[in-house]
Amino acid sequence: MRITNVEADIVRIPLSTRFSGSVYQIESRCTVVVRVHTDEGLVSEIYSGDERTGYQLLKDLVVGPMAEAVKGEDPMAIERCWQKMFALTPHVGDKAIAMRAIAAIDIALWDISGKALGVPVRTLLGGYADRAPVVRFAYYVQGRDTAFMVEDLLHQRERGIGGVKLKVGGVAVTDDLLRVRAIRDTLGDDFIIVCDANQAWTLEEALEFAGPAREMGLAWLEEPCRWQNADNDMRQVRLRTGIPVAAGQGESSSWGGQRLMDTEAVDILNIDAAICGGISEWRRVAGAAQMRGVRMAHHEEPQLAVQLLPAHAHGLFVEVFEEERDPVYYQLNSVLPEWDNGEIIAPDEPGMGLHLDAAVLEEYKVY
């Protein structure tokens, strides 16, 4: 079997509601859809990432030099294909976009390999489990107060959600702590709570939050400290409060994950396969993390996380958005995994188990 062609489309769907984290606002959802064709008729169609600014370069790299690097190759020779694409990165000015382009094709090759062998990608990666705990994001949204958020989380738990990933850092520390307390008091001790500050806080502010939050049973605190000295400051938060710290979503390669472990900045790595160079690079990080007692999460992208995290004994929670925040997930996918008793059930179908809606793709294709 040989690769004959690589195609790509950029999809952008405007959001009906503005969602805010501590230092940013989201008004659209964007992704790249990639199709890899083979001479035996086996085709992969996957999507990955949320690149909202550099998507033209991303597509141009996918269908241009990266595609040329893998055409004629065996799609199951994934590592050789990855290395051929990675060898092109010195010639690309924007290395981050280059790694996203590699990721999109790499994920498609894992999809083809699973389809060729008749097994899900999670089985190829280790097959430790067929499900994982699932948490749902809670943002700052105008017109929604803490009572609204807690009521919604009660409803989501009835639907099968196991916890919340709460955005913090956008209001006073004391106010964020009140939000956490309201969730814990209402949802109970078995409801997972993780908090994500998106690098909003000084070290002092992070410590002010982390001490009381630890007593409320946070599963982790993500990116608590500002960018300029983040590794050292996150280490201080870990050592001085005992709260588990997560980071890694913006790292473009396994070397970034290695740095976070070398500096003892994290207990949990939430490396994103769509950003860091694909499943191939993510699993390299996962292997190194397991040897060092660091657990693995995945930044957003539940269609990827549901394959990656259950495959590994040290995998943690799959993250899902609400319907208005991620129309790509809820509209582009014609079939979605089920939630049950706080867990998401991984697809049993070969490959990534994705079925994309051609009409949605055509409606929202922008490049």
Using left for φ > 0, alpha for ψ between -120 and 50, and beta otherwise, residue 96 falls in: alpha
Portion of the chain with pLDDT greater than 70, in percent: 100
Beta bridge partners of 333: 356
Helix (H, G, I), strand (E, B) or coil at 58: helix
Write down the pLDDT at residue 341: 97
pLDDT tens figures, 159-204: 999 999 999 999 999 999 999 999 999 999 999 999 999 999 999 9
Instruction: List strands edge to edge, sheet with 3-20.
Output: 3-20, 25-38, 43-48
The mean pLDDT of the chain is 97
Q: What is the pTM of this model?
A: 0.97
pLDDT of 9 higher than 90: yes
Residue 43 makes CB contacts below 8 A (sequence gap 6+) with 35, 36, 37, 112
Mean local confidence (pLDDT), 248-274: 97
Dump pLDDT digits (tens) for 96-107: 999 999 999 999
* Contact in structure between 201 and 223 (CB atoms under 8 Å): no
Mean pLDDT of 243-263: 97
Q: Report whether pLDDT(24) > 90.
A: no
Q: Which domains does the chain have, with CATH numbers?
A: 3-118+357-364 (3.30.390.10), 123-345 (3.20.20.120)
Which pLDDT band, with edges at 50, 70 and 90, does 48 fall under?
very high
Average pLDDT, integer, range 333-362: 97
Range list of β-strands (E), 285-362: 295-296, 318-320, 339-340, 343-345
Q: How confident is residue 298, by pLDDT bands cut at 50, 70 and 90? A: very high
122, 143, 201, 217: which is closest to 168 by C-alpha? Answer: 201
> pLDDT tens, 195-241?
999 999 999 999 999 999 999 999 999 999 999 999 999 999 999 99
